[in-house]
């Protein structure tokens, strides 16, 4: 629903970083269709379209609720985001991570580029094992009402800096915003899913556990597993679990959508020893310097 009294939805990215990459993806309709890479059942273009309609419905209710509460700032923000997502169409993509269609397009473009560089890097280092790593920092938890403090770019800078402790390794992956519940309290936990190479999984896990320490009993701050194939890539690049949030957590979804909307899609990714570039409607990673373990 486009409100005539409001400014037109933003169709420009509005981000200062990765402008080229952003535009290459949003202007390539291939990423919005059903061509490979596939994300699995439930993530077809048609299903995504349905989800986009549901998300705008959720935003509309949130906007009306805030209007009733007298919060003009939030009302305006929700209406603006709603207009932006509703205005997203071929050749005029909104490019917002809060838009299920655009989020999926970025996810697919990232997967394609990662598939290429992982295959190339694995060939260059036979004898090393590709591993799928999940890292959960003990801080970086955000409860409802505080999600505006989430700064993915800053979190990723912290991670890259922290990972220097395990040596100069080629790493690529993405930050992920997981909704967790503990003792009835829900919160967003920032964490990372990464691909790395190692000749000694146990050793790598031990080193990571020294950095990402346990805080509570049943926590698993570090998970390292052998990657038998690249099937983990869609999961690694999902950013949020939208289907599950729509099923169980529509209350906090609007607030989370505002966070996603101001996050540059490329900024979700974290990579070391690799440089991101974009041309001909796709992304590519190029090794920086010599490839080593
Ligand atoms: Zn869009």
- Cα 126 to averaged position of ligand 1 atoms, centre (Å): 40
Ligand 1 centroid vs 159 CA: distance in angstroms? 29
Cα(93) to centroid(ligand 1), Å: 5
Q: How far is the CA of 174 from the centre of ligand 1 (A)?
A: 20
pLDDT at 277 over 60: yes
95 alpha carbon – ligand 1 mean position (Å):
5
**Whole-number Å distance between alpha carbons of 130 and 244:** 29
Residue 21 is inside which H or E element, if any?
helix 19-26
The answer on pLDDT for 150 being more than 90 is yes
Q: How far is the CA of 141 from the centre of ligand 1 (A)?
A: 28
pLDDT-wise least confident of 96-110, 118-132, 251-265: 118-132
Q: Cα of 186 to ligand 1 centre, how many Å?
A: 28
Contact 113, 285 (CB under 8 A): yes
Q: State the distance from the centre of ligand 1 to the C-alpha of 57, rounded, in angstroms.
A: 15
Domain boundaries, the chain: 19-287
Q: Look up residue 43 and give its DSSP letter.
A: -
How far is ligand 1, taken at its centre, from the CA of residue 74, in Å? 21
Q: 236 C-alpha to center of ligand 1: Å? A: 21
Query: Cα(278) to centroid of ligand 1, in Å?
Result: 19
Is pLDDT above 60 for 291?
A: no
Q: Residue 194 Cα, ligand 1 centroid: separation in angstroms?
A: 26
CA of 86 to the centre of ligand 1 (A): 8
CA–chain centroid gap for 23, Å, is 17
Contact residues for 139 (Cβ-Cβ < 8 A; gap 6+)? none
- Tally of CA atoms within 13 A in the half-sphere of 40 that contains its CB: 9
Question: Residue 240's closest CA among 184, 174, 183?
Answer: 174
User: Distance (Å, rounded) from C-alpha 238 to C-alpha 218?
Assistant: 25
pLDDT-derived band at 76 (thresholds 50, 70, 90) equals very high
Distance (angstroms) between ligand 1 centre and the Cα of 142 equals 26
pTM of the entire predicted model: 0.92
Q: What is the pLDDT of residues 217-265, one digit of tens each?
A: 557 899 999 999 999 999 999 999 999 999 999 999 999 999 999 999 9
194-218 pLDDT per residue, tens: 999 999 999 999 999 999 987 665 5
User: Ligand 1 centroid vs 84 CA: distance in angstroms?
Assistant: 8
Å from CA of 32 to ligand 1 middle: 10
How far does the centroid of ligand 1 lie from the alpha carbon of residue 154, in Å?
Answer: 25
CB 172, CB 270: distance < 8 Å: yes
User: Which residues lie below 8 Å from residue 164, measured CB to CB, with a gap of 6+?
Assistant: none
């Amino acid at each position: 629903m486009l409100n005539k009294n409001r400014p037109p939805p933003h169709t420009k990215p509005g981000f200062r970083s990765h402008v080229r990459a952003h535009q290459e993806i949003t202007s390539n309709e291939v990423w919005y269709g059903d061509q490979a890479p596939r994300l699995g059942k439930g993530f077809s273009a048609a299903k995504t379209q349905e989800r986009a309609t549901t998300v705008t419905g959720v935003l509309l209710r949130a906007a009306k609720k805030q209007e009733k509460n007298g919060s003009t700032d939030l009302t305006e923000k929700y209406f603006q985001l709603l207009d932006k997502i509703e205005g997203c169409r071929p050749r005029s993509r909104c490019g917002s991570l809060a838009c299920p269609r655009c989020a999926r397009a970025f996810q697919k473009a990232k997967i394609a580029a990662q598939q290429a560089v992982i295959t190339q890097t694995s060939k260059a280092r036979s004898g090393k094992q590709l591993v799928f790593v999940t890292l959960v920092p003990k801080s970086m938890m955000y409860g409802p009402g505080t999600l505006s403090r989430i700064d993915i770019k800053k979190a990723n800078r912290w991670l890259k800096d922290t990972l220097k402790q395990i040596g100069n390794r080629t790493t690529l992956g993405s930050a992920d915003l997981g909704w967790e519940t503990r003792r009835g309290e829900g919160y967003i936990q920032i964490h990372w899913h990464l691909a790395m190479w190692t000749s000694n999984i146990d050793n790598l896990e031990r080193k990571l556990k020294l950095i990402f320490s346990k805080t509570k009993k049943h926590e698993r701050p570090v998970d390292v597993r052998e990657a038998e194939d690249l099937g983990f890539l869609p999961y690694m690049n999902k950013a949020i679990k939208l289907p599950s949030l729509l099923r169980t957590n529509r209350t906090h979804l609007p607030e989370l959508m505002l966070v996603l909307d101001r996050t540059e899609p490329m900024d979700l990714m974290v990579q070391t020893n690799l440089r991101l570039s974009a041309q001909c409607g796709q992304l590519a990673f190029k090794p920086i310097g010599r490839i080593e373990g």
